[in-house]
Amino acid sequence: MKRIVVFSTTDIQQIDYRKPGVPQSTGELERAIAMGFTVYVVSTRNKLGDGDKWWFDQAFRVLLATTPIDDTCVMTPGLLVPWLKLYEELGIPLPIKRRDADDQEWLEDQLEGPLPQRYGFNSWLEARDYLMYVKHPNDTIIVTGSDFRRLYP
C-alpha cells in the first residue's frame, strides 16, 4: 500500500521570531519519512528562502504557489496552482464548478496547459480540505499534515 502525506511548510518547520536564523524542524517530516510515507510539500509561498534547503532535499515533491501570498485574500488564484498540480499528479479528479473564463485561462497558463475540467475550489483552503473527502486511487492512503499528526501520533 502506498502512503502519501501532504505537508505545508508550517507543518514541517517552526520559526522562533525571538531567535532569528534557520527555522527549526517540527520533526513531522523526518517522522513521516521514517514511517515510509512519500512526502509532498504544497506551499502558499512562491519561492523558498535560505532556511528551506534542509527540508526541500528530503521531500519527494515540492509544489509552490505561482504568485506571492496576499495576506488579505486566501482566494488568490496563484495559491490554487500547486494544489491543482498535486491532484493531477496523484490522479485525483477535480470537482466541477463553473468558473469565470478569465480566471480559467489564467490558471491554465500557470499550469502550462489546459485543465482537464473546470475546477471547483474557491480558495487554497478548500483545495487542501478536498483531500480529506475525495476518493483516493486504489491501494493509496493520502493524508494532510494535520491528519498525519492525528492518525499517526
Q: Write the pLDDT tens digit of every residue in 5-51.
A: 999 988 999 877 777 777 888 999 999 999 999 999 999 888 888 77
**Average pLDDT, integer, range 86-98:** 77
93-147 pLDDT per residue, tens: 777 655 555 555 656 665 655 554 455 677 778 888 888 877 777 788 889 898 8
Nearest CA to 44 out of 15, 18, 14, 81 is that of 81
Question: Vertex 37, ends 32 and 40: CA angle to 5°?
Answer: 90
Question: Vertex 106, ends 103 and 110: CA angle to 5°?
Answer: 135
* pTM for this model (two decimals): 0.79
